[in-house]
Structure 1
Amino acid sequence: MRGIQDQLAHRAKATPDQLYLTQPIDRQWHTWTWAEAYDEARRMAAALERMGLQPGDRVGLISRNCAHWILADMAIILAGLVSVPVYPTAKAETIRQILEHSDCKLCFVGKIDEAVERLAGVPAGVSTIAMPYPDARGDSDWEELVEQPAGEFQTRQRREDDLATLLYTSGSTGTPKGAMHSFSNFAFVGHTIATSLGVEPGDKVFSYLPLSHCTERAYVEAVSFYAETSLYFAESIETFAEDLRHVRPTLFGSVPRLWKRFQLGVLEKLPPEKLDRLLKIPVVAGLVRRKIKKGLGLDRARWFASGSAPMAVSLLEWWDRVGVTIREGWGMTETFAYGTQIGLDVEPRFGTISRALPEAELKINDDQELLIRCPCLMQGYYKADELTAESMTDDGFFRTGDRAFIEDGFVTITGRVKELFKTAKGKYVAPVPVESLLARTSWIEIACVLGSGMTQPVALIQLAEHAPADRDHVARQLESDLEKLNRELEPHERLGSLIVVSETWEVDNGMLTPTLKIKRDVIEARYAGLIERASDRIHFES
């Protein structure tokens, strides 16, 4: 396995004419072959050197996914620098905290919503380079910097154990922590994921989940360095559906909330009763499945995945019925997204996160916590030796914080260790399995189960956009759903009420992380008063 710096040069030499990056700008599709991408990255690496950056210096990356995010990261790698990705949805305070904590000297900025407000968080003294997109602004312009040839620039070779990137956690459990990953870790995940999942030359990948998150960084970017995949990007949220249909990827991953939204989009055009009826007719079922997948732009995809949070078995089964068999995987920022997943040669077990990837060792401790040891485990949390020590066992396993069990090698997550709460009856409840059961209801888009110190837990729910406007009708259906749900739960787990919130939970209002996980503590604090006032089994926020 080549180191990641040598691998970039190898790809440019071995497959110079292969299409690598495709980016829409003002609805025109721009492309880079491997030779063109490598040349532009070398030009930028030389420019970074001219600006005085030395190997080991930190460089930030703040942008929605785009071709220049990849090109910038390639330049950082070739110059021997350390990349510090920041979520493009991060508030100014978070941007300031991460760039200061990581000691960044420079930052690439690109496609960012509310850029003026967010980039106010860039600390004084940190210069910026604007990627060549409309409205992107910086101290220097990308195109001016890459006009000069790379000249005598040579890759600044780094050792395998040198720091390559600082991956900051998404902040679902507090202040983001910076996981230190080496050049060796970066190379291992790219090479091993590509080979173990059977990625093929010519595979097309649509990159839209944040590249600042470990999963997209590993499964999309790092894999593209080692496998002959081509990466495509969306121009904007508004053009997402159109761009996806244009690309028609062969490999496609998402997160549970978006898989749910894709499902709701299908059901708006094809009501559940009609779809069920059509799928029971053998001759028609195949046509319906092809039409659904083509409408989404997934008709050429052969491998589908989901991660970030548990996905309801009922949703997995629904997608399987329409010809989209989703394999759930798991990993953490601290393992560079490496952990569990399976390829097409293994039949998935719905409700599990698949089984361990090569060289990943998994075990369960006495507290039912999942532990992992693997070759790409972080070198530690940056500037947090005590926290690093607390997260590790004496024999080198990382404490994931996930409660789980393993059966026949397949791993099932039952929730987070710290999410367990005790009711007034003294019984512990794991909220995630209950939330997964609630997700079966097509009118419920997302749910958060709470109940610490309460007689019975309750669920805060956000209704899907297509839910009927008739509140009485919705209440009757939710009452029926609640009855069915409670019959499946243990007495101490049964929900006392469903509370329908009026506010949409989004990243921008702080209710979700950038990877669309619920921020349980934030939601609990926000709705404490509403929970106290709720007296009906089905209660609507005014």
Structure 2
Amino acid sequence: MSQPFPTIIDRFCHYEKVQPNKLFLSEPVKSVYQDFSWADAGKEIRSMAAWLLQSGLNPGDKVAILSKNCAHWIMADLAINMAGMVSVPLYPNITSNAVNEILLHSESKAIFVGKLDNPEIIRMGIPDTLTQISFPFYFNVGCLNWNDLVAATQPLGEPVKKDTKVLSCIIYTSGTTGAPKGVMHSNHTMSFAVYSFLESTPPLANEVFFSYLPLCHVAERMLVECGAIFTGSCIHFVESMDSFSKNLQYSQPTIFLAVPRIWEKIQEEILRKMPQQKLSRLLKVPLVSVLIKNLIRKKLGLGRAKHLFTGASPINPAVLSWYKALGMEIQEAYGMTENSALSHSNRKGACKFGTVGQSYPGVEVKLSEQKEVLVKSEANMLGYYKEPVLSEEMFEDGFLKTGDEGSIDDEGYLSITGRIKDQFKTSKGKYVAPAPIESKVLTDAMIAQACVVGWGMPAPLLLCTLSEQAKSLAQTNLQDHLHQLLERINKELEHHEQLAKLIIMAEEWTIQNGILTPTLKIKRKVLDETFKDFYNNWYNESVKVVFV
């Protein structure tokens, strides 16, 4: 029988008792920080848990959370768990239709509504049958008021006892491969993941976490929410992406996670202020080098950071090497919603750039005959909600099928070489794997985003967007550079993989235009559906680099 681990509620109650007056959550609201100690938060969480139980809901019922990251997001999640109910976190920037679909599919009976950009529009997707509770600082008309409910309800003494291996959370995937699926997790799967992570990391205590990536995403939930609660640490929030730099500088986190696109944006910002030539020159002077590195880290707000992580999608190894030269070792990690984000990571001081590191303790890993990465641990999901057939198809002899193609070196470092399902066949009958080609292209400083397409075409096309650096070049110089890039990449590829054209898209791919997921991964299907009618015309253009 597997070892029972303390749950997130066990750990919260422990720290609420032993360090009641210590800072737990700190959130800027209109530039004023609202601070909550463990005792402050505990009172609100316990009162809300009691209210949920008194409202006619029962343990096991589903309760949704629809909000950007904020202090009461964490409190609501803990209150739901404390009441023995199942939390259903939603992305705060999805459409009202998607909200409706998920709430109906999950059979949610109540929903917490908080910090949103367009609350009136997104709330149109909430069925009238659901009880809506509004967070403090972000009151929504027609909702019950969190503060009123907490003030009128006696705090719950003891959390509802439930089997740690039964359903406690349904995390809906962000939809890179089609309609979102409800991934079922228990308190045990998540606790196992946290303890395995902590076992592989130098002791963490009194850390400062910075929360800005969606808390409904498994990486933020596991590293930031669970990481802070299991180690008695505190969480600082970002007010908005406009105030990101200011909030980061204020918080000075000791643990920081960013997705590749954010690391790239930070790099672009640094190089905008200090061009590479000048930076390289200064880094060669011993004393100046130390001062420059410290100054950059401090200016970013990462002066105290012990661990810097990247995940959610592949990162260009050149970006990691660039940060390493500045004294910032970024640890690339790998995981998915279906395994509580627990699979592999590069450990501090032993990073191999271009790999996603070694497996965590308690994680078995092997490759199938097709080189698909298969992982097995107690952090693996219970299955997909209401999808027994699909759930069964995801496992092979107890191993989770990740859908990723990989290779493992003799030290156990895993490299992800592509997606099994992303491969496509050209009209010549040859298969093309996009990811390795995209990785080669993204080493070029002029390219910001890249996606190889071409199902049924004579040869693949590369859709891409330009970096800020590229936009500052003269058109002739840029065209020359892109032609040389295409020539160089094609020399490194098999004949059937060689790119027919570079298609330069005018508009950056974003969450807002529906091409990126909330964690900034490219939705290949959406790109394909949006532009496939143009592929033939682009292919037949007389020039190799097509601007659209």
TM-score, normalising length: structure 2: 0.95
Aligned pair partner of 1:335 in 339, 349, 352: 339
Task: State the AA in 1 paired with 2:426.
Answer: T
Shift of 1:251: 1.0
Compared with structure 1, are the counterparts of its residues 447 and 262 closer, same or farther at alpha carbon in structure 2 (3 Å cutoff)? same
Map 1:90-169; keep pairs closer than 5 Å: 90-134=94-138, 136-151=140-155, 153-169=157-173
Contact 2:134/2:143 (8 A) holds in 1: yes
Shift of 1:172: 0.6
Map 1:374-385; keep pairs closer than 5 Å: 374-385=377-388
Aligned to 2:358: 355
Contact 1:197/1:342 (8 A) holds in 2: no
Shift of 1:151: 4.4
Determine if the alignment matches structure 1 residue 77 to structure 2 residue 84.
no
Determine if the alignment matches structure 1 residue 322 to structure 2 residue 326.
yes
Aligned to 1:13: 17
Moved more, 521-530 or 59-68: 521-530
Q: Secondary structure, in 3 states, of the residue corresponding to 1:358?
A: coil
Task: State the AA in 2 paired with 1:457.
Answer: P
Q: 5+ residue gaps in structure 2?
A: none
Aligned-pair Cα RMSD in Å: 1.6
Aligned to 2:374: 371
Structure 2: how far apart are the matches of 1:199 and 1:280? 34
Structure 2: how far apart are the matches of 1:530 and 1:335? 38
Contact 2:249/2:302 (8 A) holds in 1: yes
Aligned pair partner of 2:181 in 168, 177, 180: 177
Q: Secondary structure, in 3 states, of the residue corresponding to 2:529?
A: helix
Q: Secondary structure, in 3 states, of the residue corresponding to 1:146?
A: helix
Determine if the alignment matches structure 1 residue 268 to structure 2 residue 272.
yes
Moved more, 483-492 or 447-456: 483-492
Aligned to 1:404: 406
Shift of 1:469: 6.2
Determine if the alignment matches structure 1 residue 539 to structure 2 residue 546.
yes
| 1:199-230 deviation line (CA, Å, top 9, x unaligned) | 52121110111100111111111122211221
Contact 1:57/1:81 (8 A) holds in 2: yes
Q: Secondary structure, in 3 states, of the residue corresponding to 1:287?
A: helix
Moved more, 419-428 or 401-410: 419-428
Shift of 1:195: 3.4
Task: State the AA in 1 paired with 2:383.
Answer: G
| 1:428-470 deviation line (CA, Å, top 9, x unaligned) | 2211121122222222211111122223322111112342264
Q: Secondary structure, in 3 states, of the residue corresponding to 1:290?
A: helix
Structure 1: how far apart are the matches of 2:73 and 2:96? 20
Structure 2: how far apart are the matches of 1:304 and 1:530? 41
| 1:468-498 deviation line (CA, Å, top 9, x unaligned) | 2643332122122222222332332222221
Compared with structure 1, are the counterparts of its residues 138 and 255 closer, same or farther at alpha carbon in structure 2 (3 Å cutoff)? farther
Structure 1: how far apart are the matches of 2:315 and 2:142? 40
Could you tell me the percent identity over the aligned residues? 39
| 1:78-127 deviation line (CA, Å, top 9, x unaligned) | 11110000000111111111111000000011111122111111112011
Map 1:413-432; keep pairs closer than 5 Å: 413-432=416-435
Structure 2: how far apart are the matches of 1:477 and 1:337? 39
Determine if the alignment matches structure 1 residue 456 to structure 2 residue 456.
no
Contact 1:61/1:108 (8 A) holds in 2: yes
Compared with structure 1, are the counterparts of its residues 166 and 237 closer, same or farther at alpha carbon in structure 2 (3 Å cutoff)? same
Task: State the AA in 2 paired with 1:451.
Answer: G
Shift of 1:146: 1.2
Shift of 1:191: 2.8
Aligned to 1:519: 523
Aligned to 1:58: 62
Q: Secondary structure, in 3 states, of the residue corresponding to 1:495?
A: coil
Structure 2: how far apart are the matches of 1:69 and 1:80? 17
Q: Secondary structure, in 3 states, of the residue corresponding to 2:63?
A: strand
Structure 1: how far apart are the matches of 2:350 and 2:142? 49
Shift of 1:153: 4.3
Contact 2:346/2:352 (8 A) holds in 1: no
Contact 2:46/2:155 (8 A) holds in 1: no
Shift of 1:138: 4.8
Task: State the AA in 2 paired with 1:382.
Answer: Y
User: What is the aligned residue count?
Assistant: 539
Q: 5+ residue gaps in structure 1?
A: none
Shift of 1:154: 2.9
Q: Secondary structure, in 3 states, of the residue corresponding to 1:90?
A: coil
TM-score, normalising length: structure 1: 0.96
Task: State the AA in 2 paired with 1:389.
Answer: E
